[in-house]
Structure 1
């Protein structure tokens, strides 16, 4: 994925490099990184701020809903897609991220890859929606929203690497989040 983005940036030697170039390079695979980023935000200390957990859950719902209906890539406002990115800065960021990506690739492998493709990707989208929905009541209990947030991180990792094992770990984490919700609420 990084190679595709880097290729687009290098193609744009004199032209502006835009967010739309990244979205087009990644295509449908952009759901995985987006879910990963949202999930990491959901389990970060930033969600201590009142309302941030609900914001993360709402964004997760929107992204997973788009994934569920089969959109090729997440919808973003036109203004966001036209945003110009510094070409050299983007290339430097890719170089910095590449070392982390290599480490992560050591853990993630294409296993049970069929789980990351239709029709199973729709099931994953439903699981992510369920994780977002359980976040709302769990956010009333301190630290409880971490469970569905971890599930979203696992789903994001599984989608990025087409690793069904991580998707199954996400499903197990989601089951744990629902068990937690059941015991805390009822």
Structure 2
């Protein structure tokens, strides 16, 4: 398997980097969230948001409290994105969260088919949406997706909507594809529509 990409630019490249870490970890019986996030880089927001979004829509969120934990992590990353921070800080407790290595490898392999299809749809377009000042608006929309997850967490499967929005934003930022950023905006709108009866 090839070494990690300096900067992943596609869904499959992000999966490659996670798989490489899972296969070549210094502690093969233990994999942490911090190690997975570091494998895709903490200087670029797109791959990081994509990984967090994939966790948000994965079976891992069936564990009590995981949905809200992922939402808090999303808030932290998006907040730093809005501030334009060059390197992303994450709290040690979140970084030390243990993940099953075999489960991570299995999830990567199961995602390959979807990634292959998605990558054929990704391409640089409307790239201005992935640059300042629009990228700050994207960050605010990701914050909105994270915040709306808290009330939606009370409804089974409802947090998938904001989680999917974060995946779209992650894909758009990774590939510099403004169309996927617009799809993320629509998904956030759908999440707020779902949450409206709970809030008002």
Taking structure 1 as the reference length, the TM-score comes to 0.72
1:108, distance to aligned residue in structure 2 (A): 0.5
Runs of 4+ residues deviating >6 angstroms: 99-102
1:104, distance to aligned residue in structure 2 (A): 4.1
Q: For the structure 1 residues 74 and 142, does the alpha-carbon distance in structure 2 shift closer, same or farther, using more than 3 Å as the test?
A: same
State the partner residue of 1:12.
none
Q: Are 1:106 and 2:120 an aligned pair?
A: yes
Residues of 2 paired with 1:177 and 1:5: CA distance? Answer: 30
SS at match of 2:157: coil
**Is the contact between residue 154 and residue 166 of structure 1 (CA under 8 Å) also seen in structure 2?**
yes
State the partner residue of 2:156.
142
1:63, distance to aligned residue in structure 2 (A): 0.4
**Is the contact between residue 46 and residue 173 of structure 2 (CA under 8 Å) also seen in structure 1?**
yes
RMSD, matched Cα: 3.2
Larger C-alpha radius of gyration, 1 or 2? 1
Q: Are 1:116 and 2:130 an aligned pair?
A: yes
State the partner residue of 1:163.
177
Q: After superposition, give the CA deviation of every residue in 1:25-83 in whole Å (9 maximum; x if it has no partner).
A: 9564x2111111111111111111110000000000000011011101312479xx9xx
SS at match of 1:154: helix
Aligned residue pair count: 156
Q: Which has the higher helix share?
A: 1
Q: For the structure 1 residues 146 and 112, does the alpha-carbon distance in structure 2 shift closer, same or farther, using more than 3 Å as the test?
A: same
- Residue segments in structure 1 that go unaligned for 5+ positions in a row: 7-18, 82-95
Q: Are 1:178 and 2:195 an aligned pair?
A: no
Residues of 2 paired with 1:168 and 1:5: CA distance? Answer: 23
